Amino acid sequence: MSNQDDTQSEDQIDEVQYDPSSGKYDIYECVDCDNVVLVVGSDDPPMSCHDRPMERVTDPDISIKPPDVKQVLLQAFGLPKAGLDICLCVIGEGPLSANEVAAELDYDRSTVTRYLNTLVDLGLLRQSQLNREGGGVVNVYHSIDLEWMRRETLIGFYVWAGEAASLIEDANMTQREYLEANTGGEIPDVFWESKSEE
Amino acid sequence: MDQLATKSDADRRETTTKTVLATSLDTDEATIESHVDGLEDCELAKTYRDGSVRITITGEELLALDTDNIVIVDSM
């Protein structure tokens, strides 16, 4: 078999198989308009649009790649791998010094401090300043309420996903307008380049 | 650290011993020593030459935050 076949086979494996029965999430569409909604966690009460229950989408045709959590966090929240490593490093641990974290992750101490502050800016850690016994202050970083974090990261991701969906919809509309104005014509590369610049 | 705070005091410089801590926590002294070393790295405990140990001002302030999820102490 050719390499092309192998690549195609790997691509097919590396796809999300949407399973509406999994209960992880549901996608509904309105039968009267183009409203499409994502529901995570519950469909009670059932989603409705135009005073009618929306229909559950069961068979998307488009090929969907599985998300990589590191890429998702980087794209949606600007949280790079180092920040994620720090988050994962401290889960379940007692107090750790910044030096210990740096040594464990093989990062510079200054990198750890920088990403701790990034995590504070993102709202994923809280920072307190305590008095040092010999004078001066000590920065302490502690996790926020886990339920609050769950809500904020989920809503934050939905905002990001909404923005992404708007971009896709905008591209679809522009594409439609272009094709209507240029019957039978191919969409030139310059079209996509202009979308990425916006 | 709760046990250390209970059995020592930063303001009055009252100390305790690792033996007392090991007994109250029903563990061995090596385990206590390892934990105390970790707290000391975070400036949350102070060990004296005679082996006695106490919580620091920083440690007491940390407990006063009353947060369950302390993560990183950066004393830069």
pTM, 2 dp: 0.65
Give the domain CATH number at B21. 1.10.10.10
Domain region containing B7: 2-64
Structural domains of chain A ordered from first start: 1-66 (no CATH), 69-144 (1.10.10.10), 147-190 (no CATH)
Query: How far is CA B54 from its chain centroid?
Result: 6
Token pair for B26: 């029903």
Does B54 touch chain A if contact means CB atoms closer than 8 Å? Answer: no
* A164 vs B45: CA distance, rounded Å: 49
CA distance B28 to chain A (A): 19
Asked if residue A80 has a cis previous peptide bond (ω within 30° of 0), the answer is no
Does B74 touch chain A if contact means CB atoms closer than 8 Å? Answer: yes
Contact B33, B18 (CB under 8 A): yes
Residue with tokens 């690792």: B18
Neighboring chain A residues of B65 at a CB cutoff of 8 Å: 128, 140, 142
CB atoms closer than 10 angstroms to residue A35: 13
Q: Looking at residue A11, what is its pLDDT?
A: 54
> Shortest CB distance from B62 goes to which of A109, A140, A143?
A140
- Hey, are the CB atoms on B57 and A93 less than 8 Å from each other? no
SS3 (DSSP) at A180? helix
Residue B69: inside a domain, yes or no?
no
Residue B28: inside a domain, yes or no?
yes
Residue B11: inside a domain, yes or no?
yes
* A171 vs A176: CA distance, rounded Å: 9
Residue B22: inside a domain, yes or no?
yes
Query: How far is CA A173 from its chain centroid?
Result: 24
Phi, psi of B70 (to 5 degrees): -70, 135
Residue B37: inside a domain, yes or no?
yes
Neighboring chain B residues of A125 at a CB cutoff of 8 Å: 71
Token pair for A55: 């229909």
Cα–Cα nearest to B71, from A58, A93, A63 = A93
Contact B21, B4 (CB under 8 A): yes
Cα–Cα nearest to B54, from B22, B7, B15 = B15
Q: Domains in chain B: how many in total?
A: 1
- Hey, are the CB atoms on A143 and B61 less than 8 Å from each other? no
- The tens-digit pLDDT sequence of chain B (76 residues) is 888 999 899 988 999 999 999 998 899 989 999 999 989 988 999 999 998 999 999 999 999 988 767 678 887 6
Q: What amino acid is encoded at A180 in this protein?
A: E
Does B44 touch chain A if contact means CB atoms closer than 8 Å? Answer: yes
Query: How far are the Cα atoms of A42, A78, A128, B17 from residue A24, in angstroms, in the given order?
Result: 9, 25, 36, 52
Does A150 touch chain B if contact means CB atoms closer than 8 Å? Answer: no
Residue with tokens 């998702």: A72
Neighboring chain B residues of A126 at a CB cutoff of 8 Å: 67
Q: Looking at residue A61, what is its pLDDT?
A: 85
- Hey, are the CB atoms on A90 and B71 less than 8 Å from each other? yes
CB atoms closer than 10 angstroms to residue A117: 15
Beta bridge pairs of residue B53: B16, B47
Residue B71: inside a domain, yes or no?
no
A28 Cβ contact partners less than 8 Å away, ≥ 6 residues apart: A36, A37, A39, A43, A47, A54, A55, A56, A57
Residue B10: inside a domain, yes or no?
yes
- The tens-digit pLDDT sequence of chain A (198 residues) is 445 555 555 555 678 777 877 778 888 999 899 888 888 876 576 788 998 999 988 888 888 888 888 888 888 888 887 887 887 776 666 788 898 889 888 999 998 999 899 888 888 888 999 999 888 999 998 877 777 777 888 888 899 999 998 888 888 888 777 777 776 666 666 666 666 655
Residue B70: inside a domain, yes or no?
no
